[in-house]
Amino acid sequence: MFKTVFKQYKVKSTSPDLSEVVSFDEIDDNPEKDSKAQRISFNNEDTNWSEFPGLKSPRAWRTFVLKSHPGLLVIRNPFTDHGQRYWIARCLRDYPRAPNIVNLNERLFDDSVRCDWWKELQECKDPSERHRIKAAMRWTTLGYHHDWDTKIYNEHSKSPFPEDLSRLCQLFSSYLGYQDFRSEAAIVNYYPLGSSLSGHTDHSEPNHLAPLFSFSFGQTAIFLIGGRTLEEKPTAIYLESGDVLVMSGESRLCYHAVPRIIQTTNMSTDSLPNESKLENFKFLDIDLFEQVADSNYWQPFCSYIADSRININVRQVLKPGDLKLN
Ligand SMILES: O=C(O)CCC(=O)C(=O)O
Ligand SMILES: [Fe+2]
């Protein structure tokens, strides 16, 4: 059942029927409708969240839960445009750099591209080589590196987890009432239009109780969430730019997939006013935060995201109290 639905959305020859895909904005506009999701609120909205740069005030956040999966939450784009620019630039310029691991094959790309993909892409003048370099980037891993073959993390295969991303996840986890979340592994997925991610569960982490945080930027994904086996029919939802998906509780070990990316999002290329008080947030790359407000600096990132999606998928690996894998 999961695979049949996956193929219906992935179909190349025709456009798929999207009438069943859950759109959270529609639910918000029409809450009476017999919908598959509902809005929920948290009673901590007056807490002082110390104005994390790049995020709207939590009072303006809209959180939804899927009725079929009470542990699957979506916070519908809590980012400002400026915040989205920052995270997109981090995912393109910085996260794919050594010592983080990238998918680029050593037989197809030389070390300069494999160690600093974005810099080489910007410097490359040949259009067909540029296209080849751009389309080849599919994932980078941070913290404990995901092993795609064994699916087992290894104490000897990890790099430092970025402090900005860790603080961002900490903020969302405390907002949702999960204390003590530790960001220990992330996969950043890059999806050019036409790409997909087939059905899987994320079970490599010894800790299955901590939630998983997943951030979407750029073009819209159709995301399928199914059950604990491939027999169950999945629910399709849209994940749009800025959305934060949380897989917690029973949904944490459910099958999920991205069968299709749809081109819907146009990000502004204009310059943005700069934010103040950035000096209180030293864990951010403050220079980058300021640079992306400038339309010239932002231009190559905006052009990448015009036909691609980026997903940051953050997990806690270790059980509470553990300091390493055993
Ligand atoms: O791109 C997504 O939304 C999901 C990615 C995912 O499931 C994964 O990295 O395990
Ligand atoms: Fe996954």
> How many domains, the chain?
1
The answer to whether 86 and 298 have CB atoms below 8 angstroms apart is no
Residue 299 clears pLDDT 90, i.e. is over it: yes
Render pLDDT for 166-212 as a digit per residue (tens, 0 to 9): 999 999 999 999 989 999 999 999 999 999 999 999 999 999 999 99
% of the chain at pLDDT higher than 90: 87
- Is 69 within a domain? yes
Tell which residue, 95, 224, 201, has the closest CA to residue 151. Answer: 201
CA–CA separation, 306 and 110 (whole Å): 27
- Is 267 within a domain? yes
- Point out the ligand nearest to the CA of residue 223: 1
Render pLDDT for 261-285 as a digit per residue (tens, 0 to 9): 999 988 999 999 988 889 999 999 9
Which residues surround ligand 1 with Cβ inside 6 Å? Answer: 187, 189, 197, 202, 214, 221, 223, 239, 256, 258, 311, 313
What sections of the chain are H helices per DSSP? 2-10, 24-29, 81-89, 111-115, 117-123, 127-136, 163-175, 286-291, 295-305
Render pLDDT for 228-274 as a digit per residue (tens, 0 to 9): 999 999 999 999 999 999 999 999 999 999 999 999 988 999 999 98
Average pLDDT over residues 130-155: 95
Which atom in ligand 1 lies closest to the alpha carbon of residue 216?
A: 3
Q: Beta strands of the chain (E only): which ranges?
A: 37-40, 63-66, 69-75, 101-102, 139-143, 185-192, 197-200, 212-218, 220-225, 235-239, 244-247, 256-262, 308-315
For ligand 2, the distance from its centroid to the CA atom of residue 200, given in whole angstroms, is 6
CATH, residue 68: 2.60.120.590
Band of the pLDDT at 33, cuts 50, 70, 90? low
The answer to whether 295 and 83 have CB atoms below 8 angstroms apart is no
Domain that holds residue 264: 2-14+35-103+138-315
Joined together, the tokens standing for residue 248 give: 């917690």
CA–CA separation, 104 and 134 (whole Å): 11
Residue 303 clears pLDDT 80, i.e. is over it: yes
State residue 44's pLDDT score. 67
- Is 165 within a domain? yes
Band of the pLDDT at 298, cuts 50, 70, 90? very high
- Is 181 within a domain? yes
Largest CA distance in the chain: 56
Q: Does 202 belong to an annotated binding site?
A: yes
Q: φ, ψ for residue 312 (rounded to 5)? A: -110, 125
Q: Does 69 belong to an annotated binding site?
A: no
Band of the pLDDT at 27, cuts 50, 70, 90? confident
- Is 114 within a domain? no
pTM attached to this predicted model: 0.97
- Is 109 within a domain? no
State residue 221's pLDDT score. 98
State residue 45's pLDDT score. 58
- Is 21 within a domain? no
Residue 159 clears pLDDT 90, i.e. is over it: yes
The answer to whether 256 and 224 have CB atoms below 8 angstroms apart is yes
Q: Which residues sit opposite 69 in a β-bridge?
A: 66
Question: Which residue from 142, 188, 203, 256 has its CB within 8 A of the most atoms of ligand 1, so it is best to mutate?
Answer: 256
Band of the pLDDT at 41, cuts 50, 70, 90? confident
Atom 3, ligand 1: residue with shortest CA distance: 311
Residue 312 clears pLDDT 70, i.e. is over it: yes
Q: Which of 1-5, 10-14, 115-119, 161-165 has the lowest mean pLDDT?
A: 10-14
Distances (CA, A) of 282 to 48, 95, 164, 209, 294: 19, 18, 9, 30, 20
State residue 32's pLDDT score. 66
State residue 115's pLDDT score. 96
Render pLDDT for 43-102 as a digit per residue (tens, 0 to 9): 765 566 668 999 999 989 999 999 999 999 999 999 999 999 999 999 999 999 999 999
CA–CA separation, 107 and 92 (whole Å): 22
State residue 192's pLDDT score. 97
- Give 172: exposed, middle or buried? Use CB within 10 Å, 0-12, 13-18, 19+: buried
Q: φ, ψ for residue 140 (rounded to 5)? A: -135, 145
Which atom in ligand 1 lies closest to the alpha carbon of residue 311?
A: 1
> What dihedral angle (degrees, nearest 10) is formed by the CA atoms of 215, 218, 219, 224?
0
- Is 108 within a domain? no
Count of H helices and E strands in the chain?
9, 13
State residue 275's pLDDT score. 83
